[in-house]
Amino acid sequence: MSSALSCSACKNGVAQPFPFSMAFQPIVDVDSERVFAYEALVRGPQADSAASVMRQVNESNRYAFDQSCRVKAIGLAAHLGLAQTGARLCINFMPQAVYSPVACIQLTLKTARSCDFPCDHLVFEFVESEQTLDTAHVRRIIAEYRKQGFQIALDDFGAGYSGLNLLAELPPDIVKLDMALTRNLHQRPTARAIVESVVKLAGTLGCQVIAEGIETTDELKAVRDCGISLVQGYLLAKPAFEALPSFTLPKQSAHLPQLAALPAQQPAIAARQSSPARNRFASGLQVLRDAAEMFVPSNPRSRETPIR
C-alpha cells in the first residue's frame, strides 16, 4: 500500500477485505462481581470460527483487516451499549499492520468519536508470540496510544518468546496470563510459583493481571489464591456472537478467600527508579527464571483466537 493511499485510508477508512463480525467475551472482576472488560473476538459472518477468518488474512490485506477490526469492534460494542455498562473494550491489534502510530490511529479515533465511545475505555492488546516483534516500533505505538488515553495489554503472557524482556522493554498496563500457565494450576506447584511471581512483579510495575482460560472452579480458586481477581474463561462465560453475554460465578466462589486491594497503578518507569522497587523487580525476575527452568506447559484444552 502506498503512503498516500495509507494516509487517506487512516483518515477515511478502507473497504473491509472480506466479511467477518465479532463475538464478545467478558473479563470479570470476581471480587466486585462486575464485568471489567469485554474482549472482541473475530468471527465469520455466520458465527464461523476465528480460524476460518484468519486463514484469509495475508500480507496484502493485513492493514485493511486490522483497521476494519477496530471499526467493527467499536461500532458493534457501541450499538450493544457496552459503554453504558462501564466496562472496557479490549481490541487485539497487529503491530506489523501499523506503519505509522500517529496516522494509523486516526480512523480508530474517528470511529470512537462518531460512536460516542470513550477512548479511556479502550484497551489494545498485542501478543508476545511474534518472534520477530519490532520492540522499537511497538514502543512508539504504545506511546502514541497512551497519549490518546488507551490502555495497553500484553496478551498470552507465558506462551511467547521473550515475555520478561517485553515487560522490561514495553511495560503494559495489563498482563494477560496465557492458559498454558493457568491450566490445572491447582495441580501444578511449579506453574503456581510462576504465577505468584508474575503477580508480585506486576504489582511492582503497576500492572493489572488477568487470568485467561479459566474452565474449572479449582482453577478459579487457584488464581484467586495467587492474588488475581480479573478472570476470563468458559467457567464464567463463553463468547457470544454480536452480543454482550452475562456471566455466572460458581456458588463456591462465595467461599473463596477475598483478595487484598491491588496497589494503585503507577508509571512503570517511576517504579523502576526507586531502589526497593528495583530490588523487588530483580527478585521477581530471578524467581521466574528459576521456576521457568522446571516449567513444561500442559496442553491447553481450548483457546479462543482473538483479532490477530
For residues 104 and 304, the model is more confident at 104
Give pLDDT, residue 166.
80
For residues 70-86, give the mean pLDDT: 97
115: left (phi over 0), alpha (psi -120 to 50) or beta: alpha
DSSP 8-class letter at 306: -
Mean of pLDDT over the chain = 82
Query: pLDDT at residue 92 above 90?
Result: yes
Q: Which residues make Cβ contacts (< 8 Å) with residue 293, sequence separation at least 6?
A: none
For residues 153-178, give the mean pLDDT: 84
Residue 155 lies in a domain: yes
Give pLDDT, residue 262.
35
Each residue of 250-263: pLDDT tens digit?
A: 875 444 444 333 33
Q: If residue 231 lies in a helix (H) or strand (E), which one and from where to where?
A: strand 230-231
For residues 4 and 63, the model is more confident at 63
Whether the CB-CB separation of 219 and 182 falls below 8 Å is answered with yes
Residue 240 lies in a domain: yes
Each residue of 209-238: pLDDT tens digit?
A: 999 999 999 999 999 999 999 999 999 999
For residues 13 and 268, the model is more confident at 13
What span, in angstroms and rounded, lies between the C-alpha atoms of 209 and 154? 10
Give pLDDT, residue 63.
94
Using alpha carbons only, give the angle 36, 96, 156 rounded to the nearest 5 degrees.
Answer: 40
Query: pLDDT at residue 289 above 70?
Result: no
Give pLDDT, residue 131.
56
For residues 81 and 171, the model is more confident at 81
Residue 81 lies in a domain: yes
Handedness of CA 7, 306, 113, 174 (dihedral sign): negative
Instruction: Find the CATH number of the domain harbouring 47.
Output: 3.20.20.450
154: containing domain = 16-249+263-292
Whether the CB-CB separation of 223 and 185 falls below 8 Å is answered with yes
Residue 283 amino acid letter? S
The pTM for the full model equals: 0.80
Query: pLDDT at residue 82 above 90?
Result: yes
For residues 296 and 133, the model is more confident at 133
- Centroid of chain to Cα 250: 24
Query: pLDDT at residue 114 above 90?
Result: yes
Residue 4 lies in a domain: no
245: left (phi over 0), alpha (psi -120 to 50) or beta: beta
Query: pLDDT at residue 162 above 70?
Result: no
For residues 138-157, give the mean pLDDT: 94
Question: Burial, 59: exposed, middle or buried (Cβ in 10 Å; 0-12, 13-18, 19+)?
Answer: exposed
Residue 53 lies in a domain: yes
Q: Which three cell numbers stand for residue 61?
A: 490485506
Residue 131 lies in a domain: yes
What span, in angstroms and rounded, lies between the C-alpha atoms of 88 and 118? 9
Residue 305 lies in a domain: no
Q: Which residues make Cβ contacts (< 8 Å) with residue 85, sequence separation at least 6?
A: 35, 244
Tally of structural domains, the chain = 1
* Local structure of 268: helix, strand or coil: helix
Write down the residue that cell numbers 463463553 correspond to: 238
Largest CA distance in the chain: 59
For residues 120-132, give the mean pLDDT: 80
pLDDT-derived band at 169, boundaries 50, 70, 90: confident
Residue 254 lies in a domain: no
Each residue of 3-25: pLDDT tens digit?
A: 444 455 565 667 899 999 999 99
What is the residue-wise DSSP string for 189-208? HHHHHHHHHHHHHHHHHT-E
Whether the CB-CB separation of 152 and 101 falls below 8 Å is answered with no
At CB < 8 A and 24+ separation, what contacts does 46-53 make?
47/21, 47/23, 47/241, 49/305, 50/304, 50/305, 50/306, 51/305, 53/18, 53/20
